[in-house]
Structure 1
Amino acid sequence: MQGREGGGGVELLDGADPGAVGGYPLLARLGEGGMGLVYLSRTVSGRPLALKTVRAELGRDPGFEERFAREIRNSDRVRSPWTVAVVDYSPVGQRPQWLATEYVAAPSLAEWVQHHGPLPEQAVMALAAELCGALGAVHGAGLAHRDVKPSNVLLGRRSPLLIDFGIARAVEDSRHTQTGGVIGSPGYLSPEQASAGGSGEPGDVFSLAAVLVYAATGIGPFSRPSEEVSAPVLLYRIVHEEPVLDGVPAALVPLLRSCLAKDPQQRPTAHAVGALLERLGGRTGTWPQLVPEALERDLAVREAQAQALVSDAPQSPPQAPVSREAAYGPATEGLGTAGPPASGSVRGRWSGRTAWAAAGAIAAALIATTATLFLKHLPGGEDASGRRPSPSPTVASLPASWTGTWVGAGPGTPSADGVTQARTGRFAVTLTLDSARRGDLAGKQVSRVTEVGTDRELGCTEALRLGEVRRTSMVFEAVTSHPTDRSAAVSCPKGNVYVVTMTGPDTLGLGDEGAQSAGAPTTLTRR
């Protein structure tokens, strides 16, 4: 459904729209998909989000909430340049249910072809290669998408993205429960999905081929020009008739025909399709050079529009002055840590969801610029109107269950190239938290990361101020930062925002919103 939510034209909010959902401010309406309304939102650090709400009738279906959460967890296993990250989702029992993902200011393939016609041949070849990479990542994680269609492909600037895998399954299961019908876009379902409702990796390959026919011709392989056909007719054609490939680039016809075989066992795998495409000249990484000029202009407008909305959004209320230096010593001694080294354009991550690149001029600066710890952001605590309440220092405090010392270790990045990303060994984190009200210093966080070959310490230590108190997570701000090894030539900037999630009575989960560092721990355990 993020064809519209990911990059369609935005609409101003009206009186029927809430001011916030799940603690995230709503900035504009992006559209409506199969799950519900989709809004433009932002994180506390200013990162744009697509926030999708779940229609009430879906949420009432028995078992939907469990399936919804399960599929989101499954989708988090897929990490690739061709997927958007799930940033947050509604806690169990909260209504309305919602899902927040990275916002991509780009049109869907369906939207683009509808308004501008088919893509040029070279762009189709590049699109094919990139989507094979996307499916390879999904299948490599042991999952199947099951809803590959033009509206689930975003024509991003760096690469096309395949969205909403997993989420579609939760919605599909609910609709099967309610009606016993077949769910999805009929023109892009595989024969086994159209006839029996089940689909796996071969079904994704079939749907991919149908999407590429659409990209090249403007219609699906089982539709006819200027024809308005019913879903039952499309489903019948998919199961019983051969695809129409008129207008598809000649080099692609044999490959797409094999992908559109009725028998799933006769279709090639996504990996095999990608290998064949490479021989035909379709390679990953070529998309940015082959984006049509009109699409370049469209992307620039969308990006500027989204940035203006996010930048104009009201900022969080001012934080209270720091007032607890006496409890922890001088602020210059630090109370926390930034993360381990990751540099240049290499993407690093704390654990799960999305990695952001950071840049610098020299190796030490590169290491330090991205030595940043971001932890999972799970909001809560709206008032009755659905809006985030103003901070209240008398009640907004760190719960006693959070206080103490938490430790964890990650593998580091021993196989990095040592140029764009430092080669590091074991990456240890110690987080110490004490009771604190919002706006006060709350603790310290120390990372210890050694460089392979030199044993140089690259970690940072930071003082953390409690920024926000939420139902299952806390937002911290680093007010000071310095190298854990004072003699190391590492720059540790202050001002980073960190979010930590309580995942169990003795565990904290680490997400990766922001400029993450590769090789970091994914969990901290109470010591």
Structure 2
Amino acid sequence: MHGLEPADPPALGGYPLLARLGAGGMGQVYLSRTAAGRPLALKTVRSDLGAEQGFEARFDREIRNSDRVRSPWSVAVVDHSAPGQRPQWLATEYVPAPSLGDWVERHGPLPEAALLALAAELCGALGAVHGTGLAHRDVKPGNVLLAGDHPRLIDFGIARAADDSRHTHTGGMIGSPGFLAPEQATGTGTAAPADVFSLAAVLAHAATGRGPFARPEENASAPVLLYRIVHEEPDLDGVPDALRPLLAACLVKQPEERPTASALGERLADIGAHGHQWQQAVPAALAADLAARERSLRALADGTPPPRQEPGPGTAGTPGFGPPPTMPPAPAPPASVPLPAAAQPAAYAQPQVAVQPQFSVQPPVSAQPPVAVQSAFPAPAPGGAPQVPVPPVRKRLSNRMLVSLVLLVLVLSPVLSRTMREPVFFLVVAAPFVLAGFLIRRAVVRRRGRRGR
């Protein structure tokens, strides 16, 4: 968990962003919360993915599919972006727990008791997914969260929509190399038997610290791993004896020969592996880590979020990574119009982070010729208060003369009439001329004002 960076927006979809949880191929993942204080994991979609044709429809479809899976091993979808909204995002419940991949990398393989309990729990997770007629298609250590009550199998929706996009454009595979089934590696299938194959590969990783098609102390490339998955047998050295034949049955090349998730769960129960044993089998170091994460989450919810971080080298301006700012920065006041300190907005009074643009289409300020800009505001007086503008004397006198002329006509109208009986007739005749003179005078004054005279 890290503080927000200056380019991060303060909120998305009405949910405040509290911290960064991580980043991946899809975009940024933020910690957020509901109005009631429920913690959320808010995942964003990179702008280049969101702009691809058909991605929004796949995104919406996969979110609806993932919301169909309701089980103790899944995370609930809380909210998501409306159609047409950018950046796109997905809010799920936040589970303060490390992934299986991170834990094994830092602490090594799981003890046998925890491994067997994890196997039974993940069989239940896959059974819940397959029971809705869906397939996960990306079972890997990074998508398994080691929570204290039940492990969680995450990333049904947002990552799968991106995988579909990559598959459509490149004709490639859907999933993660090293944990794919042979039919996924060859692009011929992504159904439930492929999830069972991937689950066995994940459990082998949890037991040995490496996948069944990787070699010890080896950093194999994706093509090498895919070749071994399709053509070679798995290496299960280091897997406990009770679990090894079950994983071997799940790692056969032909999908129809693999057991289903429910059948695998029954075979695990025969060797004494049950899901309800997970809470008692959690390693002490993992339990301490989960307790520390809970305390950090409570402190963050009760206090202030971590301070915003400065972007690291090479991260500022990275195209398509993370959400763009939701609003452009507020423009500074014109340099030729100094404002009093008391009249300056709060946004200008606060310290601002100076961001240097990478490219500039304007010459340096020192190289530009000075341009005289006439201020629309009066210059401040020496005391600091702005002077009140005084209307021109000529305009004020002209208005007085026009009013005096109208009054004079009204007073003399009976005298100028043929008899005292015809003042109304005279006023009716003279009124259009007076109105025309007033309108002409008004037009002249406006034209002089526009010309600055």
TM-score range, shorter chain: 0.5 to 0.7
Please say if 1:36 is aligned against 2:30. Answer: no
Deviation at 1:215, TM superposition (A): 0.4
Greater radius of gyration (CA): 2
Q: For each residue in 1:169-211, what CA deviation from the matched residue of structure 2 results, as whole angstroms up to 9, or x when unmatched?
A: 2111111123222242100010000001531100000000000
Equivalent in the alignment of 2:134: 143
Equivalent in the alignment of 1:273: 264
* C-alpha separation in 2, matches of 1:168 and 1:295: 27
Contact 2:114/2:281 (CA < 8 Å) preserved in 1? yes
Please say if 1:191 is aligned against 2:182. Answer: yes
* SS of equivalent residue, structure 1 residue 268: coil
Residue pairs, 1:211-250, within 5 angstroms: 211-250=202-241
Equivalent in the alignment of 2:63: 72
Kindly, what percent of the aligned residue pairs are identical? 69
Contact 1:13/1:28 (CA < 8 Å) preserved in 2? yes
Please say if 1:300 is aligned against 2:283. Answer: no
Query: 204, 228, 233: which is aligned to 2:195?
Result: 204
Contact 2:90/2:158 (CA < 8 Å) preserved in 1? no
Where do 5+ consecutive residues of structure 2 fail to align? 306-324, 330-453
Contact 2:172/2:187 (CA < 8 Å) preserved in 1? no
Q: For each residue in 1:367-393, what CA deviation from the matched residue of structure 2 results, as whole angstroms up to 9, or x when unmatched?
A: xxxxxxxxxxxxxxx97469xxxxxxx
Residue pairs, 1:125-164, within 5 angstroms: 125-164=116-155
Q: How well do the aligned residues superpose, as a CA RMSD in angstroms? A: 1.5
Q: For each residue in 1:474-516, what CA deviation from the matched residue of structure 2 results, as whole angstroms up to 9, or x when unmatched?
A: xxxxxxxxxxxxxxxxxxxxxxxxxxxxxxxxxxxxxxxxxxx
Residue pairs, 1:314-463, within 5 angstroms: 384=327
The structure-2 alpha-carbon separation of the partners of 1:227 and 1:77, relative to structure 1 and needing over 3 Å to count, comes to same
Structure number with higher relative contact order (C-alpha < 8 Å, ≥ 6 residues apart)? 2
* SS of equivalent residue, structure 2 residue 20: strand
Query: 156, 159, 167: which is aligned to 1:168?
Result: 159
Q: For each residue in 1:197-248, what CA deviation from the matched residue of structure 2 results, as whole angstroms up to 9, or x when unmatched?
A: 5311000000000000000000000001110111011000000000000000
The structure-2 alpha-carbon separation of the partners of 1:197 and 1:107, relative to structure 1 and needing over 3 Å to count, comes to farther
Amino acid at match of 2:166: R
Q: For each residue in 1:92-147, what CA deviation from the matched residue of structure 2 results, as whole angstroms up to 9, or x when unmatched?
A: 00000000000000000000000000000010000000000000000001100000
More strand by share: 1
Amino acid at match of 1:25: P
Q: For each residue in 1:49-84, what CA deviation from the matched residue of structure 2 results, as whole angstroms up to 9, or x when unmatched?
A: 000000111101110000001011011111100000
Contact 2:175/2:184 (CA < 8 Å) preserved in 1? no
- Runs of 4+ off more than 3 Å: 382-386
Greater mean deviation of Cα atoms: 31-40 or 144-153:
31-40
Query: 262, 282, 287: which is aligned to 1:291?
Result: 282
Equivalent in the alignment of 1:252: 243
Deviation at 1:277, TM superposition (A): 0.3
Contact 1:41/1:310 (CA < 8 Å) preserved in 2? no
Deviation at 1:33, TM superposition (A): 2.0
Amino acid at match of 1:209: A
The structure-2 alpha-carbon separation of the partners of 1:152 and 1:383, relative to structure 1 and needing over 3 Å to count, comes to closer
Amino acid at match of 1:107: P
Equivalent in the alignment of 2:372: none
Amino acid at match of 1:62: Q
TM-score of the superposition, structure 2-length normalised? 0.67
Deviation at 1:284, TM superposition (A): 1.1
Contact 2:109/2:207 (CA < 8 Å) preserved in 1? yes
* SS of equivalent residue, structure 1 residue 261: coil
More helix by share: 2
Q: For each residue in 1:272-329, what CA deviation from the matched residue of structure 2 results, as whole angstroms up to 9, or x when unmatched?
A: 0000001111101110101000001100111111121122259xxxxxxxxxxxxxxx
